[in-house]
A and B are shown apart, each in its own frame.
Chain A
């Protein structure tokens, strides 16, 4: 298993540009999430999904869109990048059955918006 993969590892955008951060997992996990990490603020939930076709907003969803057409993929779209979106983005997937939890984070994507 490759676990959770994220591409690209690093990206520079100009204000107003759009892009998609890719996230994929090969563990057949039901749940996937996107977080952003900013200094001193820990990680904050952007969007999450509990299965293919089902997504919901997290704590900081503005400026981001997601979709979940397959179990494996959960892309995060920035429609019009802003400097405030400069951050490190982490994708996570998890599996939950009763008290059994399995969870993995991807290696992250560093985004710089100029």
Chain B
């Protein structure tokens, strides 16, 4: 079994300031890691993902995340936020065990979400 904890339920931030959203996971097996964004009354959009390779992952809209295996974390960062970044952000993991091995994006365990409110 795996779990995901997003340590902050809400993060207020001023426009053009940096933001970091924290995500920690637990799993007994190797995982894939994802960050999604949900704008009001919309579905989820993939921001970025870590499958393998470099631990620093760059995504869309200027976001990036760093995978830290020893700390089981996958924190999301943006150096300068815009009003349009106001949304809810979800961290998710997918383990590589079971059937089928490679259905990474199919069986996701999500964190509870972090609401980002960008203030002018």
Least CB separation from A42: chain B residue: B110
Among A42, A99, A105, contact of B52 (Cβ-Cβ < 8 Å): A99
In the complex, the number of residue pairs spanning A and B with C-beta atoms less than 8 Å apart equals 76
Would you give the shortest CB distance from B67 to chain A, in whole angstroms?
Answer: 14
Besides the contacts A43-B108, A99-B53, what 5 more A-B pairs have beta carbons closer than 8 Å? A48-B107, A92-B105, A99-B51, A105-B44, A108-B43
Does A33 lie within 8 Å of B43, measured CB to CB? no
Contact of A48 among B6, B43, B49, B106 (CB under 8 A): B106
Please measure, in the bound complex, the distance between the C-alpha atom of A33 and the C-alpha atom of B106, giving whole angstroms. Answer: 6
Interface centre among A44, A50, A98 (most CB of B within 10 A): A50
Q: How far is the CA of A108 from the CA of B109 in the complex (A)?
A: 18
- Chain B contact patch, size range: 20 to 34
**B residues within 8 A CB of A106?**
43
Q: Is the CB of A61 closer than 8 A to any CB of chain B? A: no
A4 CB, nearest partner CB in chain B, Å: 8
Chain A residues in 8 Å Cβ range of B4: 42
The answer to whether B104 touches A96, judged by C-beta atoms less than 8 angstroms apart, is yes
Q: Which residues of A contact B53 (CB under 8 A)?
A: 99
The answer to whether B109 touches A101 (Cβ under 8 A) is no
Q: Contacts A31-B105, A43-B90; is A103 near B46 (CB within 8 Å)?
A: yes
Q: Which of A31, A48, A58, A101 has the most CB of B within 10 A?
A: A101
Residue on B nearest A38 in the bound complex, by CB: B112
Interface residue SS majority, chain A = strand
- Listed in ascending order, the chain B residues whose CB lies under 8 Å from chain A are 4, 6, 9, 32, 36, 42-46, 49, 51-53, 90, 92, 99-100, 102-113
Residues of chain A in range 49-86 having any CB-CB distance to chain B below 8 Å: 50, 56, 58-59
Closest beta carbon of chain A to B52's beta carbon, Å? 6
Interface residues of A in 88-114 (CB under 8 A from B): 90, 92, 94, 96, 98-99, 101-103, 105-108
Q: Cβ of B107 and Cβ of A45 under 8 Å apart?
A: yes
How far does the alpha carbon of A58 sit from the alpha carbon of B94 in the complex, in Å?
A: 12
Inter-chain CA distance A44–B45, complex, in Å, is 16
Assess whether A12 is interfacial by the CB under 8 Å rule. no
